[in-house]
C-alpha cells in the first residue's frame, strides 16, 4: 500500500474504474452472443434455459438502471425461468421464430440492414458490401459466403461479439492501445450499422401478431445497441485520460469477482449450443 494517502485513494479509484469497465466488457460479450443466437437460429430448450438463467438477468441488470427498455427486458427474462422448460412455450417460440426470420409469409420486419438504407427489399446491396468489408478487415466472412446476406442482424451481433471478446482480452493484457483501436471500430460499426436501422426494425416488430419472445428481444437489442454506442464513446475518452495512464503505469491488478467467471462459464456454454439454421448467420476466419 502506498505511504501517500492521496496516492492510495487515487489507486483505489482507478481500480474501481477498471473493475467496472471489465464488468461491462464481459457483459457486452455475453449479450452480443445471446442476441446472435436468438436471432440466428431456431430456439431449442437448451438455449431458452440459458437465456432464462439468473446470469442473463444479472447481465441485463447492468444496464437496467440506465434504460427503461432494458429494465423491462430484465423483468421479461426473469419471468422466463418457468416457461423455458415448458414444451408448449418452446413450440410457440419456434413458430414465432419462423414468423420473424423464415416465412413463408411476409416477415413483420426485415432482419437485414440493406432494406432500411435503400428502401428496397432486395438483399446484397451496396451497404451489404460495406458490412462485408468490415468483417474482412478482421479476417472474417460469413460461413455461407455469397449464399446469405452479410448484414443479417444475427451476423452483425456475431461480429460485434467477436470484437468484444478481443477487446476483453486486450483490456486484461493492459494493451490499451489495441483496445482503443478495437473499441473505435466497434463504436463506428454500432453507430453506422446497427443504430442506423435497428430502431425502425424494432418499431416494425411491434406490429407482429404474436409477442411470445422475439419482439421483446428485438426491443432489448435496440436499447442495448444504443447504450453500447454511449459506452464505447465514453470508454474511448477514458482510454485517452489520466486514469488509463495510471493503470498502465502502476501495472495495476486485482482479484476479479467470482461473478465474472460465472458469466464467462455460461457464455462458453451458450457458444456451444447449436441451433437449427445458425450456420446461415455465423462468421468464420479466412486467410
Q: What per-residue confidence (pLDDT) applies to 141?
A: 98
Low-confidence stretches of the chain (pLDDT < 70) are: 1-9, 249-252
Q: What per-residue confidence (pLDDT) applies to 120?
A: 79
Contact present, 186 and 29 (Cβ < 8 Å): no
DSSP string, 36-102: HHHHHSB--HHHHHHHTSHHHHHHHHHHHTT-HHHHHHHHHHHTHHHHTT-HHHHHHHHHHHHHHHT
Q: What per-residue confidence (pLDDT) applies to 251?
A: 65
Q: Could you tell me the pTM of the whole model?
A: 0.94
Q: Look at residues 29, 23, 61, 62 and name the one whose alpha carbon lies nearest to residue 257.
A: 23
Three-state secondary structure readout of 150-210: CCEHHHHHHHHHHHHHHHHHHHHCCCHHHHHHHHHHHHHHHHHHCCCCHHHHHHHHCCCCC
Instruction: Write down the domain spans for the chain.
Output: 5-285
**DSSP letter at 24?**
H
Q: What per-residue confidence (pLDDT) applies to 254?
A: 76
Q: What per-residue confidence (pLDDT) applies to 1?
A: 43
Q: What per-residue confidence (pLDDT) applies to 104?
A: 73
pLDDT, tens digit, 9 for 90 and up, residues 72-88: 999 999 999 989 999 99
Q: What per-residue confidence (pLDDT) applies to 249?
A: 63
What is the C-alpha separation between 252 and 237, in angstroms, rounded? 19
Q: If you average pLDDT over every residue of the chain, what do you get?
A: 93
Q: Does domain 5-285 have CATH number 1.10.3480.10?
A: yes
pLDDT, tens digit, 9 for 90 and up, residues 115-163: 999 887 777 778 899 999 999 999 999 999 999 999 999 999 999 999 9
Q: What per-residue confidence (pLDDT) applies to 253?
A: 72
Q: What per-residue confidence (pLDDT) applies to 115?
A: 92
Q: In which residue are the cell numbers 482503443 written?
A: 180
Amino acid at each position: 500500500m502506498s505511504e501517500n494517502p492521496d496516492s492510495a485513494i487515487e489507486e483505489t479509484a482507478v481500480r474501481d474504474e477498471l473493475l467496472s469497465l471489465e464488468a461491462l466488457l464481459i457483459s457486452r460479450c455475453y449479450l452480443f452472443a445471446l442476441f446472435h443466437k436468438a436471432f440466428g437460429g431456431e430456439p431449442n430448450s437448451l438455449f431458452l434455459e440459458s437465456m432464462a438463467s439468473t446470469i442473463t438477468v444479472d447481465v441485463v441488470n447492468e444496464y437496467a438502471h440506465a434504460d427503461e427498455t432494458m429494465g423491462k427486458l430484465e423483468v421479461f427474462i426473469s419471468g422466463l425461468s418457468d416457461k423455458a422448460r415448458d414444451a408448449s412455450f418452446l413450440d410457440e417460440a419456434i413458430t414465432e421464430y419462423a414468423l420473424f426470420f423464415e416465412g413463408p409469409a411476409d416477415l413483420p420486419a426485415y432482419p437485414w440492414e440493406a432494406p432500411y438504407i435503400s428502401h428496397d427489399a432486395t438483399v446484397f446491396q451496396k451497404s451489404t458490401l460495406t458490412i462485408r468489408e468490415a468483417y474482412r478487415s478482421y479476417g472474417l466472412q460469413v460461413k455461407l459466403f455469397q449464399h446469405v446476406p452479410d448484414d443479417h442482424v444475427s451476423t452483425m451481433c456475431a461480429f460485434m461479439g467477436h470484437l468484444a471478446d478481443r477487446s476483453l482480452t486486450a483490456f486484461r493484457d493492459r494493451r490499451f492501445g489495441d483496445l482503443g483501436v478495437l473499441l473505435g471500430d466497434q463504436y463506428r460499426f454500432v453507430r453506422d450499422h446497427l443504430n442506423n436501422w435497428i430502431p425502425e426494425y424494432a418499431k416494425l416488430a411491434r406490429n407482429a401478431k404474436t409477442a411470445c419472445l422475439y419482439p421483446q428481444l428485438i426491443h432489448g437489442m435496440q436499447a442495448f445497441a444504443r447504450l453500447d454506442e454511449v459506452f464505447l464513446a465514453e470508454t474511448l475518452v477514458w482510454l485517452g485520460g489520466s486514469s488509463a495512464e495510471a493503470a498502465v503505469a502502476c501495472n495495476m491488478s486485482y482479484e476479479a469477482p467470482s461473478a465474472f467467471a460465472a458469466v464467462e462459464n455460461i457464455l462458453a456454454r451458450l457458444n456451444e449450443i447449436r441451433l437449427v439454421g445458425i450456420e446461415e448467420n455465423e462468421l468464420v476466419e479466412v486467410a
